[in-house]
Amino acid sequence: MNKYRNYINLIVFVMIVMVSFNIDQNPFKAEYQSVYAPIEFTKAEDPLYQEIEEKSAAYNENPKDAYIDRVWKKIPGRNGRKVNINASYERMKKNGKFNEDLIVYEQIPPKTSLEDLDPAPIYRGHPEKEMVSFLINVSWGTEHIPEILKILKDHNVKATFFIEGKWAKENVDYVKMIAEQGHTIGNHAYNHPNMARLGREEIRKQIQDTNEVIHAITGKTPKWFAPPSGSFSDEVVQVASELQMDTILWSVDTIDWKNPSVDVMINRVMGKLHPGATILMHPTPSVVKGLPTLIKEIKAKKYRIGTIDKLLSEAR
């Protein structure tokens, strides 16, 4: 009898427990967990995202159109910039605070580019571009070319070599060497004439013959033309333009052909250095001696050194 009573008591106890336990009040259910979960912001609600959004206007810059200056003639445009708020937020959210070094920008191209302007010579890059370019005109000698190339390579600098057609034809290996090391090759006429004194057909022949020689050696047709001794006329600029080329001059001259001392050459260049500078030089002993120091001093001024292509591009 006691045995049956124990079974009955156990059954009653189980029934009472089942009735009293309300499954809907399970504290392990998700809605009860959410009460104790940390508060999470959506991206747009995050104070950091809002701070980036608010401050972005101060970092945005409008693009600058290319234009023709009364003195400097053709001036390339410059891309504007706009803060990419989402990408900047992704870079900053790890530390959870605003850091202008982590801002991500989008570049905005100008409406007017160099190609949209009438034919005119180019002396310099955009006046706000912290870059300069070495223009190395080559029409005589070969003895200094290897050393100049070695110096440029050692300092991770790319230059623009304006090569005479006749010289290129006689020094194919040197032209290949210049091209293989990633430097830009421009056109320096065929046999170093005074271009300002030539007629239209002679001008065209000087440029075209040189283009053909350089293309035969490198597989590329030059885009830039540097008239020998800087002598040109409106006709020269026009013919070059008809051949899809821009006429390049310079804004800073090393005057290396006068064989100055290294100090004199460096002081001359650094005294005239400016954003967008084009620095004229030749394969001379003065350049070989002074180029390493010149590169170091230019870089110390926080200027980048690039080819004429990069200097005149709209990229920031």
Per residue in 117-148, pLDDT (tens digit) is 999 999 999 999 999 999 999 999 999 999 99
Average pLDDT, the chain: 91
Task: Specify the pLDDT at position 44.
Answer: 85
Spatial contact of 215 and 189, defined as CB atoms under 8 Å apart: no
CATH class of 131-311: alpha beta
What is the rounded distance in angstroms from the CA atom of residue 127 to the CA atom of residue 277? 8
Spatial contact of 186 and 225, defined as CB atoms under 8 Å apart: yes
- Tokens 């009573």 correspond to 5
Ranges of beta strands (E only) in 25-138 are 67-69, 73-75, 80-83, 105-108, 131-138
Residues forming a β-bridge with 133: 278
Task: Specify the pLDDT at position 280.
Answer: 98
List C-alpha distances in Å: 313 to 69, 122, 185: 17, 13, 16
Q: What is the pTM of this model?
A: 0.83
Spatial contact of 152 and 181, defined as CB atoms under 8 Å apart: yes
Summarize pLDDT for 206-219 with one digit per residue, the tens.
999 999 999 999 99
Summarize pLDDT for 176-206 with one digit per residue, the tens.
999 999 999 999 999 999 999 999 999 999 9
3-state secondary structure of 135: strand
What is the rounded distance in angstroms from the CA atom of residue 127 to the CA atom of residue 199? 34
Task: Specify the pLDDT at position 237.
Answer: 98
The DSSP output letter for 277 is -
Task: Specify the pLDDT at position 14.
Answer: 53
* Ordered DSSP codes for 21-54: --GGG-TTSHHHHHHHSPP---GGG-HHHHHHHH
Spatial contact of 200 and 286, defined as CB atoms under 8 Å apart: no
Helix, strand, coil percentages for the chain (3-state, nearest 5): 50, 15, 35
Q: Which of 36-45, 246-255, 298-307 has the lowest mean pLDDT?
A: 36-45
What is the rounded distance in angstroms from the CA atom of residue 169 to the CA atom of residue 180? 17
Residues forming a β-bridge with 305: 132
Average pLDDT over residues 274-283: 98
Average pLDDT over residues 226-248: 98
Asked if residue 243 has pLDDT above 50, the reply is yes
More confident residue, 97 or 5: 97
Domain boundaries, the chain: 46-114, 131-311
Residue 165: partners with Cβ closer than 8 Å, 6 or more residues away: 187, 188, 189, 190, 191, 206, 209, 210, 212, 213, 214
Average pLDDT over residues 149-154: 98
Summarize pLDDT for 7-60 with one digit per residue, the tens.
555 555 556 555 554 444 454 444 444 444 555 668 888 999 999 999 999 999
What is the rounded distance in angstroms from the CA atom of residue 88 to the CA atom of residue 180? 38
